[in-house]
Amino acid sequence: METGTDVWNERVARGYDESSGHMYVPEVLDPAVDFLARRAGSGPVLEFAVGTGRVALPLSARGVRVAGIEKSEPMARELRAKPGGGDVALTIGDMTSSRAEGAFSLVYLVYNAITCLLSQEEQVACFRNAALHLEPGGRFVIEVFVPDLQRLPPGETARPFHVGDRHVGFDTYDLAAQRMVSHHYTIAEGRSSTFLSPHRYVWPAELDLMAELAGLEPSERWAGWNEEPFTGSSRSHVSVWRRPPDTP
């Protein structure tokens, strides 16, 4: 994962899979891999902010040619150390500007990674970089939450997003700046740890405008990887944009 601050350090990278264990369970991970594999077809795919390979590795295990861009070297080392990690063509760099070799049928960002870019300008640059990597007709997929502002009572600035036996997480909002901070409290191997990550939340309509600026056209929007209909009450979305086939 990427961010404008150096939060994805060695300590966080070593504990990332444990703290994100709820994202590895089959009922969460398998639909994402299925969805992406179907959109990739027979072409290669590129994951921005590939992290420790939660999605990239099972995609690669299915025979999909997977490349990744990752800013955090500690996270990249965790990926490389895993079985199959060497099969993912990895580029160390920023997803707003770094280039991976080749053209791709699919570029994707999962688990709210677009919000780790802390300005609108960076998020627009990410869309443009994705478009540059796509072959004609290729798709750009983003999984991201819908800002939870409707559920904030007047005067409150915090909302929980996960409560488990070994992990509790809540977000705090700065509404004027369109910023939030995710607070993670994790118990692993008898020890507790705290992790704070800053984000810039973004609305679906704003993402559509970013796609248009990058020369991409809307293709699909779902409430989740199982292709549930997206509605006004959806708390997340999986959105797909396409590079037009006739783009020079």
Is 54 inside a domain boundary? yes
Q: How confident is the model at residue 190 (pLDDT cuts 50, 70, 90)?
A: confident
Give the CATH number of the domain where residue 69 resides. 3.40.50.150
Does residue 235 lie within any of the structural domains? yes
Distance of alpha carbon 25 from alpha carbon 20, whole angstroms: 10
| pLDDT for residue 216 | 98
Average pLDDT in the 62-73 region?
Answer: 97
Confidence of residue 248 (pLDDT cuts 50, 70, 90): low
| Residue 217 pLDDT greater than 70, yes or no | yes
pLDDT in tens, 6-47: 788 888 888 788 778 889 999 999 999 999 999 999 999 999
Domain count, the chain: 1
Q: Highest mean pLDDT range out of 123-137, 150-164, 183-197?
A: 123-137
Place 1 in a pLDDT band, splitting at 50, 70 and 90. very low
Q: What is the DSSP string of 6-48?
A: S-S-HHHHHHHHHHTGGGTSHHHHHHHHHHHHHHHTTS-EEEE
Cα-Cα end-to-end distance for the chain:
31
| Residue 234 within any structural domain of the chain | yes
Confidence of residue 119 (pLDDT cuts 50, 70, 90): very high
62 within a domain of the structure (yes/no): yes
Q: Residue 225 corresponds to which amino acid?
A: W
**Per-residue pLDDT at 84 exceeds 80:** yes
The pLDDT-based confidence of 56 (bands split at 50, 70, 90) is very high
Question: What is the reported pLDDT for 167?
Answer: 87
Per the confidence metrics, is the pTM higher than 0.85? yes
Domain encompassing residue 217: 10-146+203-242
Q: Is residue 183 part of a domain?
A: no
pLDDT in the model for residue 48: 98
Write down the pLDDT at residue 116: 95
